[in-house]
Chain A
Amino acid sequence: MTALEVLYYVLGALGLFTFLSVTVMVLTYVERKFLARIQQRMGPMRVGPYGTLQPIADTIKLIMKEDILPSWADRPVYWLAPLVIFLPALAIWVTLPVGEGLVLRNLDLGLLYIVAVSVLSVLGLVMAGWGSANKYAMLGGLRAAGQLISYEIPFIMAVLGVAMLSQSLDLTRIVNDQASIANIIIQPAGLFIFLMAGLAELGRTPFDIHHAESEVVGGPFVEYSGAHWAIIQLAEYVNMFAIAALVVLLFLGGWRWPSMPFEGTGHDALSLVWFLAKTYGIVLVIFWIRGTYPRLRIDQLMAFGWKVLVPASFLNIVLTGIVLFYGWHWSVLTVMSSLTLAAIGYIIYRRPGTDVRQDTVRVVSARDAGLKPASQAAKPLSGEPIA
């Protein structure tokens, strides 16, 4: 490796880190404003015009806060956990392209790398849970580990479906492959499975089980404060942006689909804008879900993962394989995948075998229940003294 290459990677890593840090700041602001809109309030308004400087104020506050170490904590584990959560979140961005040619290092096995590295965050959650010496943290960390497999398999399978269509694990190739027709049209079920599994991986509503505030009070992060807490939050948002970016790259055609009017340098610059616009769109969907959905229980997430998402993702693979093997037109897969999606929707909506009735409450008229009208009642007001 020449000195120039080293310089390229160092500068690239710094640039990436800066890009992600700024993105996270923007995301926290967007999330607070967007949720505030859903909830009919203003959101941050005080710091800067329309509260735009709020993320900076938050960052300064978090860095200046005391970093608390619980007296019973397992020190090395406790201090390392935020880094173990953060590093995989950062590392997957090495190979995530954000525009035409805008990637630190394009890998031929990019998708495999991303899937393999992103799972490591869970180790950090378990470490944080164990190291905090707090039972809520412990419970949260174990929840994170327990739910891992139930969403990781559909996650990988959904990725695999896209890889089969493009015959590649290289993200840039996958994007270029979608120049004429995006994968969302070919595999709508794949997108749904990927997004659901992605939400579970992120721990966002409705799968924010491991840090559920109302149950385990923040889960693995309950004891963290100050800069360490900030790093964990940074990782959460970087991960969320990564999942949104993956959705765009794998299913929404990245910067290629629908095609751009420009060519040359103009195209390259605009491709970043196009990509970011789509990614923020997906991020807003994630925020929207957060604003409207309650949280599932861990066994319900596992049941959903194992009984719905895993079979559906395998079906997705098999259908894709059949269509590819016989060389049918892609629209055949569109139909099959839409039917799969409809089946998933039916299962979620009706939940066969369980009780989803909404008519168990009836209103009995007070008259029928024995309340006599005023004219018939003896004396409506207070009675006689009991001496």
Chain B
Amino acid sequence: MKITQTTRAADSSVDMMINMGPQHPSTHGVFRLVLQLEGERIVHAEPHIGYLHRGSEKLCEGESYAQVITLFDRMDYVANLNSELGFCMAVEKLMGIEVPDRAWYIRTILCELNRVASHMLFYGVFGMDAGAMTPILYGFREREKIQSLFESVTGARMMHNYFRIGGVKEELPADFPARLAGIVDELKRAVEECDRLLTGNEAFLARTRGISPLSAEDAIDFGVTGPILRSTGQIEDVRVSEPYGIYNRFDFGIPVGSTGDCWDRYYIRIEEMRQSLSIIEQAAGQMETGEIQAKMRRIARPPKGEVYVRSETPRGDLGVFLVSDGGPKPYRVKVRTPSFSNLQAIQHMLRGAYVADAVVVLGSLDIILGEVDR
């Protein structure tokens, strides 16, 4: 057993280095966190990423614009559609394509459903990280319903490849409105059920309330976005600050925390599920028949230029920087993924925390390693 001696001469205690991950049940994938421990306290945490690096950004340069969408599916593999949307919007902006209304409604409904699915997964694994074993089964049960709906729409449960540049792949199945209405009702009940199971639990509050709070200044300095930034009290949501698509047609709320601790990060996501379901209901009510694909050439050839497009995924601000040289393939794609930026704060947040907190804090960041490493 390798135990390293600290440099402090005053006391004789020794620090223990512990390698959390890449094979650890609570690192949410292949993430490695090297912890320097003094008893149960973390003196220093060193995150190591790159175990899931597939070179997605470089691969994008070798594919046609339509094919790149499949690579974006594999970045945020829990909120695939949100990820696809980021790239499609970038190409559309570069080409100046006006996407038909119905396509936008379909996109919005599916993206918000995917947000709920992603947050349901978060709910489950966060409960697991805090030591409760039931939430993960509740969360997965609800996510399963959404995925089976996705399957009926896109033909795939996760890697959809459904959004197209200028629209969506195909029309919704005939039974979609009925199934959607049923699922939204079930999800509304499920959110309340999940809320009752975990939110006010004394042990859960003890484990998350006041744990590793992040101040708004620090959050902004680290480039943290999404629910984690909102938990610090900042009202920042790309759907509102830089509205895209048809979000300005809906009445919805942005959950904002005040303490920036793990509990706020958790509860914001529960609240976001409610808001997303409300958006879905409004969108389903407003949706009309029409075109689902903009008129454009079969093979997208954006003009020479560059573009940066932001969108709000369940994890935060997804930025896609796209450079085109006028050819059929992107010249350069750079993705600013929310998980990557959010993860930057972990070293700061874990200083002085307990080992048990490391798991909860990492869980509260809700990172997706496919997005961190790309």
Residues of chain B in range 124-166 having any CB-CB distance to chain A below 8 Å: 127-134, 137-138, 141
Are the C-beta atoms of A355 and B209 separated by less than 8 Å? Answer: yes
Q: What per-residue 1/0 map shows which CB atoms of B224-265 lie under 8 Å from chain A?
A: 000000010001010111011111111111111111000110
CA distance A357 to B267 in the complex (A): 12
CA distance A240 to B285 in the complex (A): 55
Asked if A290 meets B243 with Cβ closer than 8 Å, knowing A135-B18, A363-B255, the reply is: no
Are the C-beta atoms of B240 and A370 separated by less than 8 Å? Answer: yes
Min Cβ gap A300→B in Å is 5
Residue of A nearest to B24 (CB): A217
Asked if A364 meets B93 with Cβ closer than 8 Å, knowing A72-B1, A205-B131, A358-B200, the reply is: no
Are the C-beta atoms of A39 and B248 separated by less than 8 Å? Answer: no
CA distance A381 to B245 in the complex (A): 5
Interface bracket on B: 35 or more
Is B207 part of the binding interface, using a Cβ–Cβ cutoff of 8 Å? yes
Is B215 part of the binding interface, using a Cβ–Cβ cutoff of 8 Å? no
Asked if A387 meets B132 with Cβ closer than 8 Å, knowing A295-B207, A366-B252, the reply is: no
Q: What per-residue 1/0 map shows which CB atoms of B77-109 lie under 8 Å from chain A?
A: 000000000000100111111110000100000
Tally of contacts, chain A with chain B, CB under 8 A: 212
Contact partner of A214 among B19, B237, B359, CB < 8 A?
B359
Chain B contacts for A133, CB-based, 8 A: 1
Are the C-beta atoms of A382 and B306 separated by less than 8 Å? Answer: no
Are the C-beta atoms of B131 and A369 separated by less than 8 Å? Answer: no
Is A5 part of the binding interface, using a Cβ–Cβ cutoff of 8 Å? no
Are the C-beta atoms of B209 and A356 separated by less than 8 Å? Answer: yes
Asked if A380 meets B243 with Cβ closer than 8 Å, knowing A136-B18, A363-B271, A385-B93, the reply is: yes
Contact partner of A354 among B133, B209, B268, CB < 8 A?
B209
Are the C-beta atoms of B131 and A206 separated by less than 8 Å? Answer: yes
Are the C-beta atoms of B248 and A372 separated by less than 8 Å? Answer: yes
CA distance A144 to B40 in the complex (A): 13
CA distance A377 to B249 in the complex (A): 10
Chain B contacts for A361, CB-based, 8 A: 231, 255-258, 264, 267-268, 271
Are the C-beta atoms of B241 and A360 separated by less than 8 Å? Answer: no
Q: What per-residue 1/0 map shows which CB atoms of A289-305 lie under 8 Å from chain B?
A: 01111111111100000
Are the C-beta atoms of A380 and B26 separated by less than 8 Å? Answer: no
Contact partner of A215 among B26, B231, B257, B263, CB < 8 A?
B26
Q: What per-residue 1/0 map shows which CB atoms of B347-363 lie under 8 Å from chain A?
A: 00000001111110000
Residues of chain A in range 269-315 having any CB-CB distance to chain B below 8 Å: 290-300
Chain A contacts for B181, CB-based, 8 A: none
Chain B contacts for A354, CB-based, 8 A: 206, 209-210
Is B299 part of the binding interface, using a Cβ–Cβ cutoff of 8 Å? no
Chain B contacts for A291, CB-based, 8 A: 133-134
User: Could you say which of B94, B97, B253, B356 has the most chain A C-beta atoms within 10 Å of its C-beta?
Assistant: B356
Chain A contacts for B357, CB-based, 8 A: 297
Are the C-beta atoms of B248 and A349 separated by less than 8 Å? Answer: no
Asked if A215 meets B203 with Cβ closer than 8 Å, knowing A382-B89, A382-B99, the reply is: no
Residue of B nearest to A214 (CB): B26
Are the C-beta atoms of A212 and B248 separated by less than 8 Å? Answer: no
CA distance A213 to B129 in the complex (A): 9
Chain A contacts for B19, CB-based, 8 A: 135
Are the C-beta atoms of B16 and A212 separated by less than 8 Å? Answer: no
Q: What per-residue 1/0 map shows which CB atoms of A359-377 lie under 8 Å from chain B?
A: 0111111110111111001
- B→A interface (CB under 8 Å): 1, 16, 18-19, 24-26, 37, 40, 89, 92-99, 104, 127-134, 137-138, 141, 197-207, 209-210, 231, 235, 237, 239-241, 243-259, 263-264, 267-268, 271, 275, 302-307, 354-359
- 6 A-B residue pairings within 8 Å (CB atoms): A290-B133, A291-B134, A358-B199, A363-B271, A380-B246, A382-B93
